[in-house]
């Protein structure tokens, strides 16, 4: 992502990367190690995205958006809202009522975080993106203050009665993202 963004020209196409990570904690640019509550043996990776600490692991959909914000005529806050709204619309397709919070970026269901996001903007382009908890081991979240918020609870689609593959979840999320950013 960093290399693509550093080398891209105004003619380079935007890209969406869909991934599922092995267990890893990532610390954003503002990340404070005090939000890592114990030594779990899970690797910790410093990331150049915004935000504090989060966990990524199998059963979680991670979508990275590499987009030229200048070409799309979007600012950083608008892109954050696009990511949040795409997740909210996706979850609603599965009968889940979710919302964004102005005080804590991400998407929440009944006060529990189901989607986290973090972006990096360089040269007018963004990269990194959003993760949605689908059907994963949520235990590693207990060993951090998710996104730097002590006591923040997390949830996932499986706990809300939705049992789908992570690949299946990617389809409506990417569709919602494309619908929001395509001219």
Chain segment 130-160, per-residue pLDDT in tens: 999 999 999 999 999 999 999 999 999 999 9
The response to whether 178 counts as a known ligand-binding position is no
pLDDT at 73: 95
Residue 55 labelled as part of a binding site: yes
pLDDT at 38 (0 to 100)? 84
Tell me the C-alpha distance between 55 and 133, whole Å: 10
Quick one: which of 54, 180, 73 has its CA closest to 117? 54
Q: Determine if residue 123 is labeled as part of a ligand binding site.
A: no
How far, CA to CA in Å, does 98 sit from each of 22, 80, 84, 86? 26, 16, 10, 11
Burial of 179 (0-12, 13-18, 19+ CB in 10 A): exposed
Which pLDDT score is estimated for 183?
A: 65
Domains and CATH numbers, the chain: 2-181 (3.30.930.10)
This prediction has a pTM of 0.96
Read off the pLDDT band of 47 (50, 70, 90).
very high
Which residues are the active-site residues? 147
To the nearest whole number, what is the mean pLDDT of the chain? 96
pLDDT of residue 17: 97
Structure letter (DSSP) for residue 1: -
Q: How far apart are the first and last CA of the chain?
A: 23
160 marked as part of a ligand binding site: no
Interatomic CA distance for residues 20 and 32, integer angstroms: 24
Look at residue 135 in the predicted model and tell me its pLDDT. Answer: 98
Mean pLDDT within 23-29? 96
Percent of the chain with pLDDT over 70: 99
Tell whether residue 52 is among the known ligand binding residues. Answer: yes
Q: Tokens standing for 13? A: 């196409």
């Amino acid at each position: 992502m960093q290399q693509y963004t550093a080398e891209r020209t105004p003619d380079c196409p935007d890209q969406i990367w869909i991934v599922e990570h092995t267990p890893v904690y990532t610390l954003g640019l503002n990340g404070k190690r005090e939000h890592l509550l114990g030594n779990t043996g899970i690797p910790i990776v410093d990331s150049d995205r915004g935000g504090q600490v989060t966990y990524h692991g199998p059963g979680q959909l991670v979508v990275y958006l590499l987009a030229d914000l200048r070409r799309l005529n979007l600012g950083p806050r608008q892109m954050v809202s696009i990511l949040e709204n795409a997740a909210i619309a996706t979850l609603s397709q599965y009968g889940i009522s979710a919302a964004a919070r102005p005080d804590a970026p991400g998407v929440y269901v009944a006060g529990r975080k189901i989607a986290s996001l973090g972006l990096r903007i360089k040269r007018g382009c963004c990269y990194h993106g959003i993760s949605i908890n689908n059907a994963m081991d949520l235990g590693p979240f207990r060993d951090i203050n998710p996104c730097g918020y002590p006591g923040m609870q997390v949830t996932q689609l499986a706990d809300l009665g939705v049992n789908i593959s992570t690949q299946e979840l990617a389809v409506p999320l990417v569709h919602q993202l494309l619908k929001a950013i395509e001219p």
